[in-house]
Amino acid sequence: MTQIVQKTLIVASRNPVKVNAATRALQAAYPDCHWRVQGVSVPSGVDEQPLGETETRVGAINRLNAIKAMAGDLYVSFEGGYDRIHGQGFTFAYVAISDGQHTQIGRTGLLPLPEVISQRLEQGEELGPLMDELFDDHNIRQKGGAMGILTNNLVDRTSVYSDTLCMLLAPFLHPELFQATASAKPDSAATPSG
């Protein structure tokens, strides 16, 4: 009989989409654990609507660092952002996870945005309230988000965030492989010489 292990997951948000995404990923990855999940509002240290890869990534890292002092087994943060790439506006998020010693940071896929939305984001508006206005809804960011609305719910924020977090868990699920890779030295016979 497998014994259920109790662990604590701290999520750097109280947004149910983010808390549910983290919970879903951790429950799938560690089915023998009972996760006590705590969502905590912490500042990102970046603009409400981060613009560009760097600002968005920094926001996720800042949120993660803000919760790592709390008593937990794993820490997760998400930061949604916007960027224009090759003329097309996209939204995406950075996801970060840490066990207090090791940290992994990654990015979701890119969701293309209509030009009207891109222009307004570039003028300083925030995606969530903008989507609420354009789609005559309330608090879309705590539901399926722009990802859900613009894909007709083929995906939503929870699924995209959860899937990204699952991929970032690889080094935590197989530490022996990642430690071996980090400490391996190239074989001199396989190293090209000048």
Question: For residue 190, what pLDDT is reported?
Answer: 42
DSSP code for 170: H
At 23-39, the pLDDT tens digits run 999 999 999 999 999 99
d(CA 68, CA 20): 19
Domain residues of the chain, as ranges? Answer: 5-174
Digit-coded pLDDT (tens) for 183-193: 544 444 444 44
Q: What mean pLDDT is predicted for residues 63-70?
A: 96
Pick the CATH number of 5-174 from 3.40.50.620, 3.90.950.10, 3.30.390.10, 3.60.15.10: 3.90.950.10
Burial tier of 191 (Cβ tally within 10 Å: 0-12, 13-18, 19+): exposed
- Angle ∠(27,166,141) on CA atoms, nearest 5: 85
Angstrom CA distances, 100 to 64, 67, 142, stand at 10, 10, 28
Sign, CA dihedral 172-64-40-149, equals negative
Question: What distances in angstroms separate CA 18 from CA 13, 32, 66, 79, 186, one per listed residue?
Answer: 7, 22, 16, 10, 40
Which amino acid does the sequence have at 90?
F
pLDDT in tens, 129-170: 888 888 777 666 666 678 888 899 899 889 999 999 999 999
The rounded distance, in Å, linking the Cα atoms of 170 and 47 is 30
